[in-house]
Amino acid sequence: MKKLYKHEALEWSNLFFLIPFIISISYGIYWYSIIIIIVFIISFDFHKFYEAKEVYYLDTMFSSFLMISNLYLLFKGHLALPYSILAILCAFCALLFYLRKSKSNYYFNHSLWHIFSAGVCIFCLITFLTFI
């Protein structure tokens, strides 16, 4: 039962990616909406099925696409302050939790990785939207 709860935390933390999805849909940034919903679905699937190796490479590939897309939004938004700084701070926090994952705290750290990564997406979008 305890292991099931931990995996559910990874699934629920993925829900934070729906926030930038809704923002991007609302403002008509459909190319970004497609990328982020694909990342959401693949990541959710990856954690739902106990991190199956078959999905790992898709998860990594689309997460990389999302990171590149976030950099694009930051630069197209001319690194507008303060949102670009908040995006970078979220990225550092996400990276910290990603690197801290261990067997005992893996679920907690990886869940925070999801939450801060979604924060990166939100602030990159806001950076872009403040400039256009």
Backbone torsions φ then ψ of 74, nearest 5 degrees: -60, -45
CA neighbor of 73 nearest in space, from 89, 92, 88? 88
Residue-wise pLDDT for 89-115, tens only, equals 999 999 999 888 776 688 888 889 999
pLDDT in tens, 60-88: 899 999 999 999 999 999 999 999 999 99
How far apart CA 70 and CA 64 sit, in angstroms, is 10
pTM value is 0.89
Neighbours of 30 (CB within 10 A): 10
Q: How far apart are CA 93 and CA 22, in angstroms?
A: 23
Annotated domain spans of the chain = 2-131
Contact indicator for 116, 90 with CB cutoff of 8 Å:
yes
